[in-house]
Amino acid sequence: MTHPDDGARHQGHGLRRDLDLLEALASPEAQRAGELGVVRLAQLTGREKSQVSRALKALAAEGIVERDPDTLGYRLGWRLFSLVARTVEDRLARTAEPVMRELSAELEETSHLCVLRDQEVLTLLSVSGHSFRVHGWEGRGVPAHCTSAGRVLLLDATPDELYIRFPALAGDRPRSEVHSLPELWAKIEQSRRDGYARVREEFEAGLVGVSAPIRDFRGRVVAALNISAPAERLGEHLDTAGRVTAKAAAKVSAHLGWEGRPKPPSAARLT
Cα 181 to chain centroid distance, Å, stands at 21
Higher model confidence: residue 95 or residue 262? 95
How far apart, in whole angstroms, are the C-alpha atoms of residue 104 and residue 98? 10
Q: Is the pLDDT of residue 195 over 50?
A: yes
Do residues 12 and 145 both lie within one domain?
no
How far apart, in whole angstroms, are the C-alpha atoms of residue 210 and residue 226? 6
Q: What's the mean pLDDT in 123-142? A: 67
Torsion angles phi and psi, residue 190, rounded to 5:
-65, -40
Structural domain ending residue among the three candidates 44, 76, 108:
76
Do residues 15 and 117 both lie within one domain?
no
Of the spans 82-96, 118-132, 177-191, 252-266, which averages the highest pLDDT?
177-191
Do residues 105 and 132 both lie within one domain?
yes
Do residues 16 and 59 both lie within one domain?
yes
Do residues 109 and 50 both lie within one domain?
no
* 83 within domain boundaries: no
Are residues 134 and 112 in contact, defined by beta-carbon separation less than 8 angstroms? no
CATH number at residue 50: 1.10.10.10
Query: Closest Cα partner for 118 from 186, 51, 61, 166?
Result: 166
**pLDDT for the residue numbered 235:** 87
Domain that includes residue 133, residue range: 88-255
**pLDDT for the residue numbered 118:** 84
* 204 within domain boundaries: yes
pTM for the structure as a whole: 0.66
